[in-house]
Amino acid sequence: MKKLFGTDGVRGRAGKKLNATTAMRLAMAAGIYFRKNSVTNKFLIGKDTRRSGYMIENAIVSGLTAVGYDVRQIGPMPTPAISFLTEDMRCDGGIMISASHNPYFDNGIKFFDSFGNKLNESAEEEIEKIYYNDELIEQNQKTEFDIGRSKRVDDVIGRYIVHIKNSFPKGLMLKGMRVVLDTANGAAYKVAPTIFSELGADVIMINDTPNGSNINLNCGAMHPEILGEEVRKLRADIGFAFDGDADRLVVVDENGDVIDGDKLLGKLATYLNKQNRLKSNSMCATIMSNKALEDYLNDNGISLVKSNVGDKYVLEILSQKGLNFGGEQSGHIILFDYVKTGDALISSLLVMACFLDSNEPISKLFNPFALYPQLQKNLAVIDKIPLDKISGYKELIQKIEKDGAKVLVRYSGTENLLRILLEGRDEKILEKDMSEIYTFLKKVLND
């Protein structure tokens, strides 16, 4: 049985791995799975701005209505909006059609339960089993008036905007703040400027004209240097870059320099703690985060809990431990009191609240500690051979760890890449170790 789900839903080349047939059958399988606990018989669907979203959306609508679900289509909206609105509109489940930061020719399908949570692995496995069960799929096809209906709903954007603004402290305004927003020609191109403008900011927009093929193209969170140039040129106070579905945030300071993700998380955690808003004086970050973050937090009386890579694993820790703040150094930041997934808009308003609480420029405020040297490299692979099956791999890792380095090697859950991370006190030793491990794995995996 071929695995469908990766670390963040189902993702692949639109029209190839993720074609209309796959999308329709996957929607049928999901509908059958959600039917067991159905309350309202409604499903919510949103998407980003990719051309292939039209094809996949219609296929999903066909699949859900075929098994009896009524569908509400809300068009281009950020992923966190689907999480929020699925619960707010009392739907049995929600679907976001997006490949996040991937190029336009990829697409993906993310599922949310009735409470707006991403599905856990056991739920994904059950949907996969249904997907491959021809008899079960056939038995659940509806006829006559049991076939579902669909309609487009265009007025929900206001609900999400109010929800986002409610996360910003009452009485605070952004009047006098010049803010540059780069929406990556993606899902936040409408909501982002509306929110910041209504809060009083002087907003300058870039990359906010999606055409179906320019999402994430030399812009947004994947290319914050473009935003940096605009911030410098316009003498703005700050810049925010989102990815295609607006669940990821990159911050640029007044000099046009990118704020490191771990430094951002650390400063926001201390701000929340100062405001008595950080539950249990603790936060969650992934194993990818720099050790300097943990040391900084500990110096400020805050504990760090670590999770596997992926915002859904951060969410699992937050839920299990009763915490309310966490994220990834890549820009997925979760304020669990308001959202159940990374939300670039809520995160950006949290940054602004922290900024307004201080008397320091962004460049100084969000540079509270020095990072330990860290090297990252991606290796394109054809097949994801289990690392523990590679002869000599374990011994090489042990040798590198004896050099004093932290080693993290993992396959990407969304792309055919092997990600290599080394961290330590001596950068020259790290460079030597990276060269050795990269050469070794390239030869083994690609020869």
Q: How remote is the C-alpha of 124 from its chain's centroid?
A: 18
How far from chain centre, in Å, is Cα 185? 16
CA distance 181 to 239: 6
Q: Write the DSSP string, 64-119.
A: HHHTT-EEEEEEE--HHHHHHHHHHTT-SEEEEE--TTS-TTEEEEEEE-TTSPBP
Task: Tell me whether residue 347 is one of the annotated catalytic residues.
Answer: no
CA-to-CA separations, 392 to 379, 388, 410, in angstroms, rounded: 18, 9, 16
Distance, CA of 296 to CA of 22 (rounded, Å): 47
How buried is residue 13: exposed, middle or buried, by Cβ count under 10 Å (0-12/13-18/19+)? middle
Alpha carbon distances (Å) from 243 to 48, 72, 326? 10, 24, 19
Q: What is the C-alpha R_g of the chain?
A: 22
Choosing from 52, 83, 100, 307, which is the catalytic residue?
100
Which amino acid does the sequence have at 386?
P
Cβ-proximal residues to 236 (8 Å cutoff; 6+ apart), any chain: 178, 179, 180, 204, 230, 254
Residue ranges in 177-255 assigned as alpha helix (H)? 191-198, 224-234
At 370, give phi and psi (nearest 5°): -95, 140
3-state SS, residue 143: coil
The residues, any chain, with a CB within 8 Å of residue 133's CB and separated by 6 or more, are none
Q: Where in the sequence numbering do the catalytic residues fall?
A: 100
